[in-house]
Amino acid sequence: MEFIRNTHFDFLGKKKIAFAISSVLVVLGIIEVIMMLLGTANIGIDFTGGLTMQLFFKHKINVPLVRKSLITKGFKDIKIIKFKGKNEYIIKTKLVGNNITAYANKLESIIRKSSPKNSFKVISKEMVGPSVGSTMTKDAIIAIIIAIISIFIYITWRFEFRFGAAAAIGLAHDTLALLGIIFIFDKEITLLVITALLTVAGYSLTDKVVVFDRIRENLKLESEQEKSINLNNLVNKSINEVLTRTVVTALTVVLVVLSLFFLGGSVLHNFAFTLLFGIIIGTYSSIFIASPIMVIFNEKYYK
């Protein structure tokens, strides 16, 4: 069922505005990558090394007092996150030293002393050494680069170089623009966020393949009927023809991700946040970034 019919939007006519918006997000994304490599970004303990403990208290705790007690005893980069409606907290701190077990025991001891009348139990405990964290940071960046290169090879093989180049640039744009959004909102980058980035790359690739496939079909049809083809008009026509599918698919995924965002709790919050903006950016880039770039490559190399 099509609820968007007979549209004639001039998507390529808005490419300058789209490129300007994307340029800002991409620059911010590059800054975020540089900060990740320097260790100054808001990175989770998966990459920096550290300790995360989920604790359930009998009563509500005095967060500023607990934080002050931990800082006084040498703990660094402390984050205390409270679950809504519960006396349940997640405490994150950067690792100092190499004895992770002793570090965790010390944290528990300090919390007990700062709130002697407020008993608690440890629900979960996660510890990552600094060397493992550093390796995972490099591996995450390499994984994203390999994914983009692999997608370029696949699209070039299935379509042509102009489509493959446009898809690869579009996916690089999606990744950096999404990191730009993460930079703006100062979201913590964890393994789940990297997973979301790769998931978005897969979704975005599928969306671009649908658009490019329709462009290729229309190119074949028009080349059989006439010698001269106005590629701008043809691309606009192709995007309008798949617009219903693009919008319906995006809305369906967004509704599912919104349920994760609001009901998934603090553990899944950043994951759902990344997916949500990733779906929006991926859909937007298929129309306003990848398609115009394909036209630019066509004008440069296929004349």
User: Would the pLDDT of 222 be above 70?
Assistant: yes
Q: Which CATH number fits domain 50-128: 3.30.70.100, 1.10.510.10, 3.40.720.10, 3.30.300.30?
A: 3.30.70.100
Which two structure tokens, joined as six digits, stand for 251?
Answer: 């809305």
The mean pLDDT of the chain is: 86
User: Would the pLDDT of 35 be above 80?
Assistant: yes
Q: Is 50 left (phi over 0), alpha (psi -120 to 50) or beta?
A: left
Residue predicted with more confidence, 71 or 279: 279
Could you tell me what percent of the chain has a pLDDT over 70? Answer: 92
Q: What does the pLDDT read at residue 78?
A: 85
Provide the pLDDT confidence category of residue 132 given band limits of 50, 70 and 90: low
Which two structure tokens, joined as six digits, stand for 257?
Answer: 């991700």
pLDDT, average across residues 80-102: 79
CATH architecture of 12-43+133-299: Up-down Bundle (1.20)
Q: What does the pLDDT read at residue 295?
A: 92
Q: What is the secondary structure of 125-147 as a DSSP string?
A: EEEE-HHHHHHHHHHHHHHHHHH
Q: What does the pLDDT read at residue 298?
A: 84
Residues shown for the chain: 303
| Token pair 């004349």: residue | 303
User: Would the pLDDT of 177 be above 90?
Assistant: yes
φ/ψ of residue 76, rounded to 5: -120, 155
User: C-alpha angle with apex 271: 255 to 20, nearest 5 degrees?
Assistant: 80
Provide the pLDDT confidence category of residue 4 given band limits of 50, 70 and 90: low
Q: What does the pLDDT read at residue 102?
A: 84
pLDDT, average across residues 173-187: 95
Domain ranges of the chain: 12-43+133-299, 50-128
Could you tell me what percent of the chain has a pLDDT over 90? Answer: 40
SS3 33: helix
Please return the burial class of 8, using the count of CB atoms within 10 Å of its CB with bins 0-12, 13-18 and 19+: exposed
Q: How far apart are CA 129 and CA 73, in angstroms?
A: 20
User: Would the pLDDT of 81 be above 80?
Assistant: yes
User: Would the pLDDT of 227 be above 60?
Assistant: no
User: C-alpha angle with apex 194: 178 to 179, nearest 5 degrees?
Assistant: 20
Contact by Cβ (8 Å): 90, 80: yes
Given this chain, do its domains 12-43+133-299 and 50-128 carry the same CATH topology? no
Q: What does the pLDDT read at residue 173?
A: 96
pLDDT, average across residues 70-81: 84
Q: How far apart are CA 15 and CA 254, in angstroms?
A: 25
